[in-house]
Amino acid sequence: MAREIDVRDAAAPIVTTREREEDLLAEAALTSEELPGAHRVRIAAFDQQTGNPSVVVSSAAPAEPGQWVDRALSHVERIGPVLGLTGGQAAEYRADRHPQQTSASAVAVHLRQMHAGIPIYDATETVRFAPDGQLLEVAGRSYSITEPLAVEPRLGPGDAVRIALLHLADDDREPETDPYGQPIPEPSVDPDAIDTRVVSTAADDPERETLVEGAPLAAPTVVSLAWFPLVAGLRLAWRLRLEVGDAPAYRFLVDAEDGRILLCRRVEHGVLGRATIVLRSGGAPEDVPLPLPLDRYGLPIPTDLPTVFPDPWLLDTTTIGNAVRAVRGDTERPASGHRAGDGVEFRPEPGSFDHLVVNAFALCGAAHDAFFLLGFREEDGNFQSDGFGRGGSDGDAVLVRVHPQPVHGTANMATPPDGRVPRMNLGPVTATGRHTALDPDVVFHEYTHGVTNRLVGGRDDWESLDAVQSAGLGEGWSDYVTCTLHDKTVIGDWIVARPQGLRRQPYTEDFTGSYAQLGTPAYSRPHDIGELWCAVLLSLGRRLGPDETLQIVVDALKLTVANPSLLAARDAILMAADHRAAALGANEFEQAEQRALVWSVFARFGMGPSAGTIGATLNGISADFSLPAAPALA
């Protein structure tokens, strides 16, 4: 692989001196006197790389819900000296205009430190608010700047791209292998074939965003200015991400003065790891690699996977990954592992809260990869912070909060449109003392809610399962996927300590419900309607095969209209089954045979061709237990 670089690695961290701490603590006391009312701030922790505070806690701040971004920016401006900003240094931050809100209505506003309109690499502050709107704390990292810095890059953006490409070309190391022994392809760059050119530059933009294209770039490269922090101060640099062929992408920061590579990181590198986790409901913990080997899912391996899949789950030594960000619900902090060779190991004490967070992280990572195999990928709106240029919007890894106290519905999942962060909340079951973070049934059920919300009606429609039948379909899909992937006919039996699990009857062939009962007291609530739909799908799986049916169901989700009825979902499955059979080479007789088999399952549950409904409501329900006429075949 190309040699990764971070020139900060060779520099000793700035160890906060006692004198520095005392000066900042005194500044906090002085600033507190200037804050309105009884609002006070104190420094709770210091950052060893900057010598500045890493956590500044507020007390007695006014509770004023709303205007989160403006309040966050105003607060960091007021406490700038406490954060370590020097007397002449402006509190210059760029806010993410989409504050994150928890299920309990707590809010976090993320700020990027800037200087002269240019972002500082690895310098962010998060301002956290309580559910009642009271400001709680500022956590992160800011850099002190003693004097204004000149923005005069001697090196051009096109030169920075060439330097980065030459770095990729100048490497003769043995190629890395993935967890399964397969070589990971690296960029192949011929120095003599480099032919790049600047296409456009935003002249009025302080970051001077520039587009560069040409050989051997796989796609146009965006280059922009950033400040890179060193012990001696901030260095002006060009920031870019390179993609060459199908190889992993690399992120570079190239010194804009002397062309030195300050940072080179393989974006898709991640970190390999191991953890002891519970993969089966009620099962014993297993010591497994992260990510899991693909053969653990029991699913066919598609031929069109990205070369390096599965993508690494870990980005560092915490449970903040590319597809999943798992944290404690009460502190918003992740679990941490420790370095072991080239990877990371998570060995939390069994039964500890970190154990719950690690387990939730691993189960959601497994769900992500299983659905990836089934076709829920970046272009479909799947959940990833970095989509690796494969489509969709970045920045929407699932945020999993593991709570010490019960949460609404015991566990829940909220899924906004693509590009916005889905949130899963997991809590304990009081009656059993068991936590949903340790139950794969619960985690996969909730994760599937996110998938169906993204796929049904398109990735930008988050109102696509609002109707009562549609909500019931959502519950049924979630139970079905969970039962299929875990080879079960009940769901939640461990978490509630009941053999029959959460539902009223097992999902076996003698399931007694039917479409004729839809709208009656027995089948009028979403979870009850979901039982009927899950029973249909599992019955179909026994005839077509579980793996084949699961693929058809996921394909059908992409064909399903927004706010569907059970009959609309039935039609999508019929269509998806037809399409898949044809794609697999079935002739017209084989296709007709499969279609008749699918219809036989729907008819057995009263969803034959003449079944009726008024939209996705519970009105106008009429069942049909007959089969359609067989088609005439040549």
Find the helix packing angle between 546-559 and 440-455, rounded to 10°: 40
Assigned token pair, 210: 């520039």
Q: Are 427 and 353 in contact (CB under 8 A)?
A: no
pTM of the model: 0.62
pLDDT digits (tens, 9 = 90+) for 393-434: 888 999 999 999 887 778 888 888 888 889 999 999 888 999
Distance between CA atoms of residues 235 and 475, nearest Å: 53
pLDDT digits (tens, 9 = 90+) for 97-121: 767 544 346 577 878 899 999 999 8
Distance between CA atoms of residues 606 and 597, nearest Å: 15
Confidence (pLDDT) at 269: 42
Question: Are 271-447 and 465-634 the same fold in CATH?
Answer: no
Q: Which amino acid is at 145?
A: I
Q: Which residues is 58 bridged to in the sheet?
A: 41
Confidence (pLDDT) at 508: 96
pLDDT digits (tens, 9 = 90+) for 290-314: 999 999 999 999 888 887 789 999 9
* Cα separation values, 311 from 161, 178, 185, 293, 388, Å: 26, 10, 13, 11, 10
Q: Are 59 and 40 in contact (CB under 8 A)?
A: yes
Distance between CA atoms of residues 502 and 562, nearest Å: 28
Res. 140: pLDDT tops 80:
no
Rg of the chain, C-alpha, whole Å = 27
Q: Are 331 and 357 in contact (CB under 8 A)?
A: no
Instruction: Write the class of the CATH domain 465-634.
Output: mainly alpha
How many Å separate Cα 153 from the centre of its chain?
36
Distance between CA atoms of residues 353 and 358, nearest Å: 9
Domains of the chain: which residue ranges?
A: 18-140, 152-266, 271-447, 465-634
Largest CA distance in the chain: 92
Mean pLDDT of 42-50: 84
Query: How many of the other CB atoms lie within 10 Å of CB of 280?
Result: 14
Assigned token pair, 205: 């933009």
Q: Are 142 and 153 in contact (CB under 8 A)?
A: no
Assigned token pair, 113: 């430190």
Residue 276 three-state SS: strand
> How long, in residues, is the chain?
634
Res. 357: pLDDT tops 90:
yes
Stretch among 30-44, 160-174, 242-256, 412-426 having the lowest mean pLDDT = 242-256
Q: What's the CATH fold of domain 271-447?
A: Elastase; domain 1 (3.10.170)
What is the residue-averaged pLDDT of the chain? 88
